[in-house]
């Protein structure tokens, strides 16, 4: 109750709430495609890879959005290039490239001599969201949601059966990089809320929980967004009330929801499956 009063009272909390709700939605939506394409590690990589871009943007005094998208997409291309042109496997290539980008980012930031910035970028601090940050998140969110809505067909085909898409003439490579661009934008939008290090959790955990709840992608997307939003609000509540790190609180809220679903999901939950096995065995006695 106090939390709700505080939301009405404090503008900074309103901004934090709106921003983290939007982050919950877009992370959930994009996360569905990321996990269905088996790209969870790629999500982790791209989110880390925005660091040098953000750092350089600070240095040049431009909006960090541009630098982040640039370094994120560049890393995605580098990962693809190495794995396609050598015997190096995709996950190895991811490991090489994103740590390189991340390390470069750290060096650049230490050159800036402002460690508070680094801390905020890495771990987020949603209670310190400024109006401009909130509007960036809202803008990015709308662009991402519109993109998924408009290209839903193409994203669905290429996630399910890429070869079919290629056979009827879809530019599957381009769609991959398009999704990587969306992923980078989502990461940037989430910087203030959960930070670079934990973005991947918001991408994967709500989507994974949704995956256990339904057998239809369209429903999975809405569920993932919903679970993302609930995690954001719950996390923000705990963060505000008990003075915890906002990103970590939100992520743990998502994890708690995932565990609930993992155990109690009607069709794919552990408990349900165990009951079914027991029933079957009992019937055979």
Partner 1 sequence: MHHPAISIKDLHVSYYGNEAVKGISLSVQPGNLIGIIGPNGAGKSTFLKAVLNLIPKDKGTIHLFGSSIQEARRKIAYVPQRNDIDWDFPITVLDAVLLGTYPNLKLFRRPGKKEKIWALECLDRVGMKDFSKRQIGELSGGQQQRVFLARALAQKADMFFLDEPFVGVDVSSEETIVKILKELCWHGKTVVVVHHDLSKAEEYFDQLILLNKELVDFGPVSEVFRTETIAKAYQGQFAFMKEIGV
Contacts with partner 1 by CB under 8 A lie at 36, 38, 150, 152-153, 156-157, 159-161, 163-164, 166-169, 211, 214-217, 219-220
Quick one: tokens of 82? 């190495």
Shortest separation between residue 209's beta carbon and partner 1, angstroms: 13
d(CA 183, CA 79): 15
d(CA 15, CA 7): 9
Give every CB contact of residue 210 below 8 A, 6+ residues apart in sequence.
28, 32, 219, 220, 221, 223, 224, 227
Shortest separation between residue 216's beta carbon and partner 1, angstroms: 6
Decide whether 214 or 246 has the Cβ nearer to partner 1.
Answer: 214
Decide whether 36 or 233 has the Cβ nearer to partner 1.
Answer: 36
d(CA 257, CA 260): 5
Decide whether 152 or 264 has the Cβ nearer to partner 1.
Answer: 152
Decide whether 33 or 237 has the Cβ nearer to partner 1.
Answer: 33
Shortest separation between residue 80's beta carbon and partner 1, angstroms: 15
d(CA 201, CA 224): 12
Shortest separation between residue 32's beta carbon and partner 1, angstroms: 9
Shortest separation between residue 20's beta carbon and partner 1, angstroms: 26
Decide whether 36 or 138 has the Cβ nearer to partner 1.
Answer: 36
Quick one: tokens of 255? 């994890």
Evaluate whether 246 touches 126 at the Cβ level (below 8 Å): yes
Shortest separation between residue 221's beta carbon and partner 1, angstroms: 10
Shortest separation between residue 276's beta carbon and partner 1, angstroms: 14
- Three-point CA angle 105, 108, 111, nearest 5°: 150
Evaluate whether 67 touches 54 at the Cβ level (below 8 Å): yes
DSSP state string for 68-99: HHHHHHHHHHHHHHHHHSSS--HHHHHHHHHH
Decide whether 61 or 169 has the Cβ nearer to partner 1.
Answer: 169
d(CA 48, CA 52): 9
Decide whether 117 or 154 has the Cβ nearer to partner 1.
Answer: 154
């Amino acid at each position: 109750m106090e939390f709700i009063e505080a939301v009405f009272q404090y503008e900074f909390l309103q901004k934090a709430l709106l921003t983290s709700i939007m982050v919950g939605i877009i992370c959930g939506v994009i996360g569905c495609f990321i996990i269905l394409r088996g790209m969870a590690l790629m999500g982790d990589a791209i989110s880390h890879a925005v660091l040098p871009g953000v750092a350089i943007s600070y240095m040049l005094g431009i909006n960090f959005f541009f630098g982040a998208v640039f370094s994120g997409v560049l890393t995605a291309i580098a990962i693809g290039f190495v794995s396609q042109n050598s015997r190096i496997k995709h996950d190895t290539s991811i490991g090489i490239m994103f740590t390189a980008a991340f390390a470069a980012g750290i060096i650049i930031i230490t050159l800036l001599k402002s460690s508070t910035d680094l801390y905020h970028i890495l771990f987020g601090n949603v209670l310190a969201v400024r109006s401009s940050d909130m509007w960036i998140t809202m803008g990015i969110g709308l662009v991402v949601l519109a993109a998924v809505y408009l290209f839903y067909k193409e994203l669905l085909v290429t996630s399910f059966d890429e070869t079919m898409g290629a056979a009827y003439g879809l530019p599957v490579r381009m769609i991959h990089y398009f999704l990587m661009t969306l992923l980078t934008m989502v990461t940037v939008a989430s910087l203030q809320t959960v930070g670079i290090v934990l973005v991947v959790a918001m991408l994967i955990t709500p989507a994974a929980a949704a995956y256990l709840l339904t057998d239809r992608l369209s429903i999975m997307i809405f569920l993932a967004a919903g679970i993302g939003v609930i995690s954001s609000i719950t996390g923000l509540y705990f963060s505000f009330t008990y003075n915890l790190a906002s990103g970590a609180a939100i992520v743990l809220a998502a994890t708690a929801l995932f565990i609930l679903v993992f155990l109690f999901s009607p069709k794919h939950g552990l408990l349900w499956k165990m009951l079914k096995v027991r029933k079957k065995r009992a019937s055979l006695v």
